[in-house]
Amino acid sequence: MSTNTRTGPLEDLTIVDCTMAYAGPYGTALLADMGANVIKVEPPAGDNFRQLAPFPEDADRVGVETPGADYGAAFASVNRNKRSISLDLKDPNDREILLQLCEKADAIVENMRAGVMDELGVGYEVISARNPKIVYGTVRGYGDPRTGESPYADWPCLDVVGQSVGGLVEATGDLFGLAIADIFPGTLMATGLLAAVMQSRRTGKGEFFDVAMYDAVQALIKSNIASYGVTGKQAKPGRKGLVPFGLFPTSDGRIAIAAPVERHWAFLCQAMGRPELISDDRTRSNPRRAKNVEFTEAVIAAWTQTKTKQEVVSAIGGNVPCGPSNTIPEVLADPHTQARGMIQEFDFPGGQHKGLSTGSPIKFMSGDTDLYQRPPKHGEHGEEILAEFGIKARK
């Protein structure tokens, strides 16, 4: 539940967040959970992620004032612990407000295409002239010319494109079902921002940095690229050097088992009632199991498919790396999830509906990373933010 108090190791960090959709907001959400004062700047029409379903039943989806939320679950998932102000950056008065916010902020982040903020008159050079200590971060499909001119700098990019051009699809054989080419760049943006702020506080000089989705995906497959550098060959999707290391069928689903290490393999063999496989020439070492992967996996599958996920866990859990392929309800019910406080509940605006939010995966012994404020309605905190920064209220 909401604590109503912003706490955490970053509570002295103020970020002007001009990002929308998923990649940028994911990164600033990580920072907000750790206490950063994240001010979400939205255009008059709002972040377009507000319009993505599913919605609470009384959501305001057509621009008519209602007691309900003007956003659905997708927006809520990456915008908790933030405050919203609506600014039209095509309007000189609102541009000036943004610049005044930046004068007192530690950082500003955005994820527009390269050159858009410059055309609006609020690019890095303009903002840094008002605040030389500020950190300016971006997430773009192909980066920013300031850090390296890409021939695709002006091209739009979304998750499926980032996964494809960066090599992830060919490395794995298919698209990830989750927006990994948004999530990982957003995470890297948060990391880069913290590094740049540390430098700014040490030197008194700000910095511009960017994360390209293309680059981030390449970083994800760095082991594949390193292997190619040695062999000159692209590893085929699904090729296994570690065996067993994958999913196996059970009577009620699937379970992951990873036992390439010999002590784990020996325990698994004993649990399966196949101790002879510990010394069998086909399976007595990981390299031999890799050469005989079909045989090895067939033996394990023959054992697991006669049992439930929980029965397999009861037999080898804690001794062999393993874990059931959990559904969302199973994840929510797992005692680990409960013990770690990873699922938190919040009230949608209007108080008629509740939502679920994942807690911060970055845990501190002080317990300071938490949900303290529900995701904001569009422009909900405008006057509050202006007053806090000593900016004259708009007419």
AA identity, residue 128: S
Nearest to 242 by CA among 265, 259, 225: 259
The pLDDT confidence band at residue 61, using thresholds 50, 70 and 90, is low
Is the alpha carbon torsion for 169, 171, 177, 183 positive or negative? negative
Handedness of CA 354, 360, 363, 367 (dihedral sign): negative
Angle subtended at Cα 119 by Cα 121 and Cα 195, rounded to the nearest 5 degrees = 70
**Per-residue model confidence (pLDDT) at position 55:** 87
How is residue 193 written in tokens? Answer: 């921002």
Q: For 241-273, what is each residue's pLDDT tens digit?
A: 899 999 999 999 999 999 999 999 999 999 999
Active site residue 94: no
pLDDT, tens digit, for every residue of 179-199? Answer: 999 999 999 999 999 999 999
238 pLDDT higher than 90 = no
Residue 111's contacts (CB-CB under 8 Å, 6 or more residues apart) are 18, 19, 20, 21, 23, 24, 138, 139, 140
**For position 241, what pLDDT does the model report?**
85
Residue 283 CA neighbour count, 13 Å, CB half: 24
Check residue 1 and give its pLDDT: 43
CA-nearest of 210, 215, 194, 208 to 139 is 210
Q: Which fold has domain 14-221+338-388?
A: Rossmann fold (3.40.50)
Query: Using 50, 70 and 90 to split pLDDT, how confident is the model at 340?
Result: very high
Cβ contacts of 74 within 8 Å, gap of 6 or more = 49, 52, 53
Would you say residue 57 has pLDDT above 80? no
Q: What share of the chain is helix, strand, coil (3-state, %, to 5)?
A: 40, 15, 45
Residue 239 has pLDDT above 50, yes or no: yes
Class of the CATH-defined domain 245-326: alpha beta
Q: Which of these, 76, 82, 83, 84, lies nearest to 345 by C-alpha position?
A: 76
Least confident window among 27-41, 272-286, 321-335, 364-378: 364-378
Which residue has better confidence, 64 or 385? 385
pLDDT in tens, 149-180: 999 999 999 999 999 999 999 999 999 999 99
The answer to whether residues 76 and 116 touch, using CB atoms and an 8 Å cutoff, is: no
> Of 341, 304, 369, 384, which is closest to residue 8 (Cα–Cα)?
369
Among the options 94, 182, 368, 370, which is catalytic? 182
Average pLDDT, whole number, for the chain?
93
Query: Domain spans of the chain?
Result: 14-221+338-388, 245-326
237 pLDDT band (50/70/90 cuts)? confident
Sorting pLDDT into bands at 50, 70 and 90, what band is 56? confident
Mean pLDDT for the stretch of residues 232-240: 83
pTM of the model: 0.91
